[in-house]
Chains A and B, each alone.
Chain A
Amino acid sequence: MKRNTGDGTGLHQRLSWLRPGLHAAWPICLGYIPIGLAFGVLAQKAGLNVLQIGLMSILVFAGSSQFIAVSLLQSGAGALAIILTTFVVNLRHVLMSSAVSVFTGGSGKRILALFAYGVTDESFAVNMAKFREGSWGLRPALVVNHTANTVWILSTMAGGLGGQFIPAGAFGIDYALVAMFIILLVMQIRSRRHLWAAVLAGISATLWSLWVPGNSYVIVGSVFAASVVTAIPRNDRGVSGRSDQKPVN
């Protein structure tokens, strides 16, 4: 490996993958702060102390299931019921990790095990867009995961300490993650088939969410849409005639 001249430690070079990761992570962090604070406030009201809140954020690191767990704890639910609910709520990550695995061939077991810890809706969306661009690897992806993770842990603990003093929804910060999902969805639509999958998933997920309580609509909607579009034979070209699709087999 070549070393930077005048930089005896090579630190600059070693940290060169840090910046893209941090740059990609900031919208996630922006969105996690208000949610984390809100979670901390609720958890504290449910009787958890800062250490217990931090421990849950470190071990679980999955926002919606943490909210649900706290409300179940408060209602006096049993341990197994809480664990089982968490499993169901977080099962959707199977789909995300499967989709990421297309890009992680040839990686070591340890780095994959570490990366898996940080797979969330948000980090998945950001890393997938980057992997697709081609200039991404597990190291910057890990920076995204762990930056978001750190911000999440600290925000939830800060909420437990005194988050009720921070005004909710200041400057539309509670919309940061929605806006991030909008741009990431736009970037995922690279052909007519992707567009159809997105439209179908949006409609079917919405309909399912109206009939079935909980968040199973995420899995049901996306599996249904991807399966239907996969079953349709490919004879179209990409959006507006661009032939940006891989040839069939």
Chain B
Amino acid sequence: MLDGKYLFIVVGMGLVTYLPRWLPLALLSNRRLPGVAEAWLDLIPAAILSALLVPVLITGGQPVRLDLMRIEFWAAIPTFVVAVVTRSMGVTVVLGMLLFWSLKQFV
């Protein structure tokens, strides 16, 4: 059931996943960073969210290709407007789901 090889794999996976999550917090939390590093880290959340999001919206297939006809993309445009106007997580998530779901019924 929980044989040795599987246990070795998941413990190893857990370690290599945990260390990159923990080390920066342990090393940087109580340290004053130089101004440039702080300015850089200040931009990281916006950059990383966009880097996670945009490829999901406009690429697809295997191998990956640019695809502007995806429902993910067309639902994202009104969802984005709703987000800017309402600034509400609840409204944006629920309306985004509804938009995506309704567009799917037509395509």
Contacts and interface: CB of A to CB of B under 8 A. Distances in A.
Given A101-B24, A106-B30, A230-B40, A209 B100 contact: no
Interface of B: 1-2, 5-14, 16-18, 20-30, 33, 35-36, 38-59, 63-66, 72, 75-76, 79-80, 83-84, 87-90, 92-93, 95-102, 104
Given A52-B6, A201-B48, A213-B64, 18 more contacts: A65-B17, A83-B13, A86-B12, A96-B44, A96-B48, A97-B21, A104-B29, A107-B30, A178-B96, A179-B92, A179-B96, A186-B83, A189-B46, A201-B50, A202-B54, A210-B66, A225-B43, A226-B41
Interface residues of A, number: 98
A94 B23 contact: yes
Contact of B76 (A178, A180, A206): A178
Interface of A: 24, 27, 30, 48-49, 51-52, 55-56, 59-62, 65, 69, 73, 79-80, 82-84, 86-87, 90-102, 104-107, 109, 112-113, 115-117, 119, 121, 124-125, 128, 169, 171-176, 178-189, 193-195, 197-206, 209-210, 213, 217-218, 221-223, 225-227, 229-230, 248-249
A115 to B, nearest CB: 7
